[in-house]
Structure 1
Amino acid sequence: RIQVWRLTHASHTQPAASKIFPSDTAIMTSPKFELTYFPIGGRALEIRLAFNIGKIDFKDNRLTFPEFGKAKAAGEFKYGVVPVLSVDGVQMGESLAILRYVGQLAKLYPEDPMEAFRVDEIVNVMENPSSAITFTLVPQRFGLEKFDEKEKMRIRGFINEKVLPPFIAGLEKTLAKNETKGFCVGSSLSIADLKVFGSIRNIKAGFLDGISDTLYDKAPCCLAVYKTVSEHPSVVAYFKANPKG
């Protein structure tokens, strides 16, 4: 597996006349990564995939909801939410920031500034459908009281008919401009592809009542990206071991 190396120094006491060994020797050590989230895909899926595609070792810490509640009450999470990534014990928050960080380590983020912008643009815009659906699941995170089932389904109906179709149409037009079909940007895999894959996977799963699982059926460029990611050997292996994400 690919290791992410960090340079440290160790002092060595040598005889004064010795010119064979330097007084400081660079030692390469691999940082320890620990990702904490629930035992589902959710907002950690793309991060987990990036780690696996990049063949970077990490601890996949999956909390039950009661375990999360207890840890949150104890103030263990930086912003009171997950996912969080600990790097050598230093906690990092916010799923998109974590994804970009891991994406760079896994070589899934462009070095070219314009290509990096195009990747960021898609990564950010994919939050629109995610946030709309999350709103119906945990309205408390948006400063609202929890609403009843009837109101939830009314809102989801609006999202399904008025929010997601034009969003998908716009995304399709953007992806159609990329010369290499099956990728969001350029001709190699990026975290933008992972975000599009994750969103389509959530829709196609059909577990969101009131949200059609066929919304992406008439978006061939989006589906081409989904196919590229889903057929990647590391992704195939990942879902074989983690069918829930």
Structure 2
Amino acid sequence: GSKRKRLVSIYHAESNTVSRILVTMPEYKLMYFNTMGHGEIIRWIFAYGGIPYKDERLTREEFDKIKSSIKGGKLPILMVDDKQLPQSLAIARFVAKKARIVPEDDWESALIDALADSLHEMLFDLYKLRQTIPDYNEYVGKVRDEFFPKSIAPIAQALDERMKDRQWYTGDKLTWGDLIIGRAFAEMYNRQPEMLKKFTHLVSHMQKVCEMPAIKKWIETRPESPF
């Protein structure tokens, strides 16, 4: 199809003039299942950055048909024009750079990478547990009694401490780290608020992220999908 173009102004300091040029924008397509899972943080970043993309949600049958052509044979995959980028955190970081919410400072950037890895592992273990326990009430009981104290509470406690006297996770500007925190804890809080209620700084930070106009709109208008 025809490529999207964007008008960009370029300032030339030596001649004190501005020229305007049309820049070709890549076409983005996120391929994942109709679930939040490992694709949802990417969708949040696209929403926050106001970056147009196609949110393609495949059935298992549709995925099986194209699996052999997918890098690594797993979803999510981000199509950038005709190139494939695999791995959810690599995709999230790539889109976050486009949205300009990756810190320039190397240390701050590394802290967010570490946060992303921790929360990714936490959510992955939660999904795995959910798949092994079909009964929802039994699953919630197992999370509350065993998984939460061991695997979620220590992370929530550390984040609660960190957010006590900070506006954002690093420095004084929102980064994709803040979106990860919002994404990782929002569903949990909506379904089982009593688990997180003692982590007041974490909860208020998560709520602040979810109330940002672009994120709020995404949450309100996104397709219905399971955890």
Tell me the TM-score normalised to structure 2 length.
0.78
More helix by share: 2
Partner residue, 1:186: 171
Instruction: State whether residues 36 and 60 of structure 1, in contact with CA within 8 Å, keep that contact through their aligned partners in structure 2.
Output: yes
Could you say what secondary structure the match of 2:72 adopts?
Answer: coil
Change (3 A) 1:131 1:42: closer
Q: What secondary structure is seen at the aligned counterpart in 1 of 2:71? A: coil
Shift in alpha-carbon separation, 1:179–1:217, aligned structure 2, 3 A = closer
8 Å CA contact 1:179, 1:186 repeated in 2: no
Distance 1:202 1:177, change over 3 A: closer
Return the offset for 1:219. Answer: 0.9
Correspondent of 1:46 among 41, 49, 55: 41
> How many residues are treated as equivalent by the alignment?
208
Mean Cα displacement is larger for which, 50-59 or 186-195? 186-195
Deviation >6 Å, runs of 4+? none
Task: Give the conservation status (yes or no) of the 8 Å contact 2:5–2:25.
Answer: no
Encode CA deviations 1:130-154: one digit per residue, 9 max, x unaligned: 121122245xxxxxxxx6758xx58
Corresponding residue for 1:228?
208
Letter in 1 for 2:100: K
% same residue: 25
Segments of 5+ residues of structure 1 without an aligned counterpart are: 6-25, 139-146, 207-211
CA distance in structure 1 between the aligned counterparts of 2:167 and 2:58, rounded to whole angstroms: 34
Q: Which has the higher strand share?
A: 2
- 1:164 Cα deviation from its structure 2 partner: 2.3
Q: Distance in 1 between matches of 2:221 and 2:28?
A: 20
Aligned-pair Cα RMSD in Å: 3.0
The answer to whether 1:163 aligns with 2:129 is no
CA distance 1:28–1:149, change in 2 (3 Å): closer
Which residue of the partner structure matches residue 222 of structure 2?
242
Per the normalisation by structure 1, the TM-score is 0.73
Tell me the secondary structure at the aligned position of residue 217 of structure 2. helix
